C-alpha cells in the first residue's frame, strides 16, 4: 500500500535534467506537492548540454547544487545511461547484442527485436558513465552487473504480471 492509502505509482521524469525545468515546471510540482525525477547524463552536470544533433544541445543542465535542492524536496535523480560507457558507430551493435543475449540467457526467453537504420540527427558518439553520477551526485548502483539487473527486473515482472496495476 502506498502512503495515504493510494494504490498507484507515477513518475514525472525530465530527461537530460535541463535547468529550464526550474523556471517552467518546478512551481507546478510544488503547488501540487508532487516531486519529479531528473535523468541526467552524468558527465554534463552543471554545463551546457554537448550532444550535437540533440534537440537539447546547448541547453544548460542542472548543477550539483540544483540537483541537491530537488533531492531535498523528494525528487529522484538518476544517470541517463547506466549500462553503457561510450556508444560509437563501431561498437553499438556489439553493445546492443550483448544486452539482448544477457536478457535471453537470464530470463530463458527469446527477446524479440529489430535493428533499424540510424536516424537522421543521431549523434556519432554517446557517452554515459555511472562513475560521474557517483562522483557528482553521490549515487551508488545497487546491482553490480547487467545479469543481476535483468534477473531482478524479470523476477519482479513475473510476480506482478499486471505491472503496478496489480500491486497493493
Cα(148)–Cα(125) distance, integer angstroms:
27
Kindly report, residue by residue over 94-139, the tens digit of the pLDDT: 767 777 777 777 767 777 777 777 778 777 766 656 777 788 778 7
pLDDT at site 39: 79
Name 151's Cβ contacts closer than 8 Å, sequence gap at least 6: 106, 107
Lowest mean pLDDT among 3-12, 77-86, 131-140, 152-161: 77-86
Contact 21, 60 (CB under 8 A): no
Residue 97 is placed in which grid cell? 547484442
Helices (H) and strands (E) in the chain, counts: 6, 5
pLDDT at site 19: 92
pLDDT at site 9: 56
Kindly report, residue by residue over 138-164, the tens digit of the pLDDT: 877 777 676 777 777 778 778 877 766
Amino acid at each position: 500500500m502506498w502512503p495515504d492509502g493510494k494504490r498507484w505509482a507515477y513518475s514525472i521524469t525530465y530527461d537530460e535534467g535541463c535547468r529550464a525545468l526550474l523556471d517552467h515546471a518546478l512551481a507546478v510540482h510544488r503547488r501540487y506537492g508532487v516531486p519529479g525525477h531528473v535523468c541526467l547524463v552524468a558527465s554534463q552536470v552543471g554545463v551546457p548540454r554537448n550532444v550535437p544533433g540533440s534537440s537539447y544541445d546547448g541547453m544548460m543542465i542542472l548543477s550539483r547544487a540544483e540537483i541537491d535542492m530537488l533531492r531535498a524536496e523528494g525528487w529522484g535523480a538518476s544517470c541517463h545511461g547506466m549500462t553503457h560507457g561510450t556508444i560509437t558507430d563501431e561498437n553499438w551493435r556489439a553493445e546492443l547484442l550483448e544486452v539482448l543475449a544477457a536478457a535471453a540467457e537470464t530470463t530463458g526467453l527469446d527477446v524479440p527485436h529489430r535493428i533499424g537504420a540510424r536516424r537522421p540527427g543521431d549523434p556519432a558518439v554517446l557517452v554515459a558513465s555511472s562513475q560521474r553520477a557517483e562522483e557528482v551526485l553521490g549515487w551508488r548502483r545497487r546491482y553490480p552487473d547487467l545479469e543481476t539487473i535483468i534477473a531482478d527486473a524479470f523476477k519482479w515482472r513475473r510476480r506482478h504480471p499486471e505491472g503496478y496495476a496489480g500491486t497493493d
